[in-house]
Structure 1
Amino acid sequence: MSTRTPVGVPTYSEDLYSDAAILDPYPHYRALRALGPVVWLPGLEVYALPRYGEVRAVLADDATFRTGDGVSLNERYNTLLRGSTFASDGERHVFLRGLVAHELTPKALRPRRAAIETAAEALVERVLKAESFDTVGDLARSLVLAVVPDFLGIPVEGREHLIDWAAANFNCHGPLNDRARTALETAGNMAAYATRLVDERSPRPGGIAHCVLDALDDGKVDRDQAISLMLDYLAPSLDTTVTGLSTAIWLFARHPEQWDLVRADPARIPMAFNEAIRYETPVRQFGRRVAHDTEIAGVPIAAGAQVLVMFASANRDERKWDRPDTFDITRNPVDHLGFGYGAHGCAGQGLARIETHSVLAALARHVTRFEVGGERRAVNNVMRGFDTLPTRVRLS
C-alpha cells in the first residue's frame, strides 16, 4: 500500500495502540465515528471502520473482506496463522470450522449446562467466604479453567499457562509494536504446547481437541493444520470469557441499580450479559484484507488494502443505539457485535454464555452489592479487560 493518504478520505493520526488509547479508547472511537464511516489511519496504513452499519456489512461479506493474511495488523502473525480456522476463508473456513462445530451447538452444549451451573455455584460460595476477592483471578479465571480445559479434553499439565498464553495471542494481533513483539515469544510457547498435544496425542476422547486428532487420522488435515486447529480453540475460548465476566461484575458495581434489576428477575441475565458485551466489548478490533476492488459507504477501496473492523466502536455507535454510552440492561441488544458476526462469528459463544450466566445467577442468589476498588486494567493490543479487580460484596 502507498503511504499517501487516499483522496477524499478523512484521516486520523492518533495512535490507537498507545497505552493511553488502550486504557481509554472511547474518545478516539467518538472522534473516528464523527469523521465518517471510513477513516484512513496513516500510521497503520489501514482503513478504519468505526460505525456499526459498515462493520456489520463487512463481517457479512467474507467473500470480499478476508481474514487470510489480514486478520492481524502485522505480517509476522498473519504468516503464523495461515491454515487456521481463524485465518481462512470460504469453503476452507467452512470445512475447518465444521470439524468441531457439532460440539459447540446449543444441543451439544445442553448436557453440560448442569455441571457448569454446579461448578459456578460451588466457586461462588467459596469466594464469598473471604472478606474480599479478585474477580479476575479468584472468580472468572478459576471458573474458565475449571470448565474449558475439560471441555477441550486437554491434559492437566500446562493448563496453568493457558490464560497468559491467550492474552499473548490477542496482543499479537496488533501492529508490530513492542507489546506484540514480546507477545510473539509467549505465543510461541502456546504453539509448542499445541504441537505436543498433537504429537503426543494427549487429548482425551470426547473433547474438542480429540476431534482434531480424529480429523488428522482420517486424512482430512495434515499435522501442521492440526496444530493450527488446536491453537484456534485454546486461546479464544479462555480470555474472552474471563474478560466478559469480570467486566460485567465491574459494571454492576458501578451501576447497582442495574444489579437490582437482575436480582429482582434473574431471567434478565442473558440480556444483561448482552448489554455488558455491547458496552465494554472484550475484543476491540480485528483486520480484514480486501479481495478485490470494492467500495465501503461510497469510498473506493483497492484490492489488497486492509480494513480495521472496530467492534467496540460499532457497539457504541450513536446511529445504532439510543444512549450508547449508558449501561442499561433493559435494552437487550441481541444484535451487538461483541462476538463478531457472519462466517467468523465466535464459535464458542454458546459455552461463554453458559459459563457467565451461571456465575451471575449464583451471585444474584447471594450478593446485594459489589464494591470494587484498586482495579488494574490490562494493556493489550486487542482485548479490553482487567488484570485485577479487587472486590468486596454485601450479602443478602
Structure 2
Amino acid sequence: MTLPAAPAVPVSDADLFSEQARIDPYPIYDELRELGPVVRLARQDLYALPRYDEVRTALMNWRVFSSARGVFVDPEVNAQLEGITLCSDPPDHTMMRSVLARPLRQDRMREIAPRIEAEADRIVTELVGRGRFDAATELAEHLPMAVVSELVGLPDRGRDKMLEWAAAIWNVQGPANERFTAAMPAVQEFTAFATDEAVPGNLRPQGWAAHLYEAAERGEIPPEKCPVMMLDYVTPSLDTTILAISNTIRLFAEHPDQWDLLRADRSWIPHAINESLRIESPVPQFSRVLTEEHEIGGVVLPAGSRVALLYGSANRDHRQYPDPTRFDITRRPSDHLAFGRGEHVCVGMHLARLEMTALLERLADRVARFEVVESRPMVNNGLRGLERLDVVVS
C-alpha cells in the first residue's frame, strides 16, 4: 500500500519588508492566509504562520517555538541579542521578566494613573483649543515622552534620543536591507549609552532603569543583564504606544459612527482600544525557532526552522473575526494578538492601555469629529503606523 505524499509547503515570493509592504501589508497577508496555515517565504528563507489559530498556538508553546535564538530576521542580529528578555526562554526569561515587569504591573499603574491623566488633560485641552494638530507627534508622542521617559529615568541625553534609538532598534528587526543598514549606527550608539552612561550615579533615583541595578545588587539578576534589559523599557514604552494612539485617531476619523458610540458610552473605550490594536497592529511580526520537528497544518517542519508569527495577518483572519476589515468597537476582540500571548506577552501593555484610555476619555469630552487633513505612513522593518497625522477637530 502506498501512503499519500505529505503535503508540500506553499511558497511565496512576497517581500514583507519592501517599502510598499511596510505601508500596506494587507494584500500580502490575504494571499498568505489563502495559501495555507504555514507558508515558506522564499525571499527571507523562513516559514510564516499567517492565520490566527496557528499563531496563537505557537505563542502559547515556548518549548517548541523558542525565542532563545532571537526573534528577528537577520541571523547576526539574532545571535547578538541572544539572552536579552525578548530573546530568551524560561527559566532565564522568567527571572528577567519578574524584575522588568515590577514597575509595569497593573497595580503599579494605579500609582502613576493620576499623573498620566493630568498630563493627558493638559495636552488634550491645549491641542483641541488650537483646532488643528499632528496627532502622530503632538498628541501620540506626548505622554510617552513627557511622562514615561521620565519614569524610565535615563540621563537627559538618553531621554532626548529615546525615539530615535527605539525606531532604529525596530528597524533591525528585519532583513539586512537599506533601512536595517541605516539604523545600525543608532543601535550601536544606544548600546554604548546603555553600557557606559546609563549606570548608577547617572540614573534618576527610583526610576525604572535604576530599579534594574538595585535588583542586580540583591542578586535577582546578573549585573551584566542590566544594560540590555534597558532596551525593554525603551522600545515597548514608546513607538508601539505612539503608533497605537495615532492609529486609533485615524480609525475614529474614518468611522465617525464609532466615535459617536464611544462618546455616548465610555465603557466602550477598552473594547475600542482592543479593536484598534486588532485591525492595525503596531508590531506586525516576530519570529521563533523550532526546538524539534513539528507539524503545522499537516506539514512537518524540521527542528531549527525559523518561523515568523504574523500578528498583523492573524488579527485579520476571517476564521477568527467575521468581516475582519471592519472597525467595530462593539466586537470586543480581547483575544487579539497585538500584545502577543503566553510567556512573551507585552510587558508594557497595562501602561499602553492606561495612556490610551486617558487620552480617549478626554478627547471624548471635547471632540465631536476628527477630520484627517494630511497623513504620512511610517516605513520601518518592525513597526507599522503613521509618521504624521494632521487632523482638524470640531
**TM-score, normalised by the number of residues in structure 1:** 0.95
Identity %: 42
- Indicate the residue corresponding to 2:92 in structure 1: 92
Write the deviation string for residues 246-303 of structure 1: whole angstroms up to 9, x where unpaired. 1000100111111111111111111001000000010000110111111122211111
- The one-letter amino acid of 2:145's match is L
2:116 aligns with 116
Asked if 1:251 is matched to 2:251, the reply is: yes
Paired residue type of 2:158: G
Tell me the amino acid that sits aligned with residue 133 of structure 1: F
Q: Secondary structure at the match of 2:308?
A: strand
Q: Equivalents in 2 of 1:87, 1:47: separation in Å?
A: 19
Q: Does 1:65 align with 2:48?
A: no
Contact 2:284 2:384 in 1 (8 A): yes
SS of 2:78's equivalent in the other structure is helix
Q: Single out whichever of 55-64 and 191-200 deviates more from structure 2.
A: 191-200
Aligned to 1:328: 328
Decide which moves more: 51-60 or 177-186: 177-186
Q: CA deviation at 1:72?
A: 0.7
The number of residues matched between the two structures is: 389
Letter in 2 for 1:155: P
- Please give the residue correspondences for 1:176-255 in structure 2 after superposition, counting only pairs within 5 Å: 176-255=176-255
Q: Secondary structure at the match of 1:329?
A: coil
Consecutive unaligned residues of structure 2, counting only runs of 5 or more, are 1-5
Equivalents in 1 of 2:134, 2:169: separation in Å?
A: 23
- Deviation per CA, 1:168-192: give whole Å up to 9, x if none: 1111111111111111221112222
Moved over 6 A (4+): none
What CA deviation, in whole Å up to 9, does each residue of 1:31-62 have, x standing for no partner?
Answer: 00000000011111111100000000000000
Looking at structure 2, the residues matched to 391 and 196 of structure 1 have their Cα atoms a distance apart, in angstroms, of: 41
SS of residue paired to 1:128? helix
Whether 1:261 aligns to 2:256 is no
Alpha-carbon deviation of 1:219? 4.1
Letter in 2 for 1:44: Q
Within 2, Cα distance between the matches of 1:150 and 1:298? 50
Alignment-derived partner of residue 298 in structure 2: 298
Tell me if structure 2 keeps the 8 A contact 1:70–1:306: no
Over the residues paired in the alignment, what is the CA RMSD in angstroms? 1.5
Corresponding residue for residue 3 of structure 1: none
Give the match's secondary structure for 2:369: strand
The secondary structure found in structure 2 opposite 1:187 is helix
Q: Which residue of 2 aligns with 1:146?
A: 146
Measured in 1, the distance between the counterparts of 2:346 and 2:134 equals 27
SS at match of 2:83: coil
Secondary structure, in 3 states, of the residue corresponding to 1:368? coil
By how many angstroms is 1:217 displaced?
2.2
Instruction: Kindly provide the amino acid, as one letter, of the partner of residue 259 in structure 2.
Output: W
Is residue 2:316 matched to residue 1:316?
yes
Name the structure 1 match of 2:388: 388
Kept in 2, the 8 Å contact 1:198–1:226? The answer is no
Correspondence for 2:173: 173
Q: Which residues of structure 1 form unaligned runs of 5+? A: 1-5
